[in-house]
Amino acid sequence: KSSTLDFFLSPQPAMTKDQAAEALSRSYAKKPSTFRFKLLKSKVLERSSGRILRYGFSVARCEGSQTESEGQKICVKPGSDDKLDTIARHWEVATTVTSTDGKEPYALWIVECSVPSENWKEESAQINQIVDSFAVGTKA
């Protein structure tokens, strides 16, 4: 089993919650369009269905080309020097892994919500309610 899978299935995982959040968010951080990425808080929720990892991150995307100017990274319109604004979003994620009797196959469950970063304060209560209500099981 991978360390990330072990985080969800082992009673004493070798990986911390922050390490698991970093591993699971790496694909966002490494996208070619990612201009700026910051991993935010993480926490573990223990539920009857298993361990749920809750984490957030902020990501700014460049819909053009990324280049250097005067020692700083900038986003520009492809084929020109015209600067483009980056698009910043705040993401909140809850994820877990389940299996039948601790055996393969494993299922990865994810709920993701995002809003423009400038709207986070107004939308955070509703987003947190949605993400914190995440559970996996056969009963509602």
pLDDT of 85 strictly over 80: yes
Instruction: Identify the CA nearest to 42 among candidates 12, 20, 18, 14.
Output: 18
* Amino acid 140: pLDDT: 47
CB 111 within 8 A of CB 130: yes
Q: pLDDT tens across 19-57, in order? A: 999 999 999 999 999 999 999 999 999 888 889 999 999
Q: What is the pLDDT of residue 1?
A: 58
Query: Per residue in 108-136, pLDDT tens?
Result: 899 999 999 999 999 999 999 999 888 88
What is the length of the chain? 140
Tell me, rounded to whole angstroms, the distance of Cα 48 from its chain centroid. Answer: 23
**Residue 8 exposed, middle or buried by CB count within 10 Å (0-12, 13-18, 19+):** buried
Give all strands (DSSP E) within 1-140, no chain letters: 34-47, 50-61, 65-69, 72-76, 87-100, 103-116
Please say whether the beta carbons of 3 and 12 come within 8 A.
Answer: no
Report the share of the chain in percent with pLDDT over 90.
Answer: 67
- pTM attached to this predicted model: 0.85
Secondary structure percentages of the chain, helix, strand, coil, to 5:
25, 45, 30
